[in-house]
Amino acid sequence: MSTLILRTAGRPIIVLMLAFAIYLLLRGHNLPGGGFVAGLAAAIAAILADYAYGRKALLAAAPIDPRVIVMIGIAATLLSGFISAFAGVPFLTGLWTPGLPLGTPLLFDVGVFLVVVGAVVTLVTTLEAEEEED
């Protein structure tokens, strides 16, 4: 159901949406934004890419299977909690790298981002594949 207008306008819109998703991800944790909202923005860009270019093009653009992306995201969120637990503080306590604004909250947000994007892309592509079979 792709049109020439959607395919033409889709590419710059998708790039802008992904840039905005990264902005939301990096802004996150203590400000509005973070992994979930950034994941939703990136998932909407993926859905637009699916409508504009098709399921095969969307899956070809992803370097790995979306289900693996979900598992990597879950591992990242768990790792962010275990890092603090191994440091002797309560699970999911934010720890920061000395001298850098990087820490376990960013790792947690990246994990949530990956879970949301992977889950939505898996859902959309699975539903579309089932629709093609009918």
Residue 41 has pLDDT above 70, yes or no: yes
Backbone φ and ψ of 65, nearest 5°: -60, 140
Q: How far is CA 71 from CA 5, 42, 83, 114, 132, in A?
A: 35, 17, 18, 8, 27
Helix, strand, coil percentages for the chain (3-state, nearest 5): 75, 0, 25
Task: Decide if 94 contacts 105 (C-beta within 8 A).
Answer: yes
pTM of the model: 0.89
Give the tens place of pLDDT for each residue, 57-109. Answer: 888 888 899 999 999 999 999 999 999 888 888 888 888 888 877 788 889 99
- What confidence tens digit (pLDDT) does each residue in 10-29 have? 999 999 999 999 999 988 76
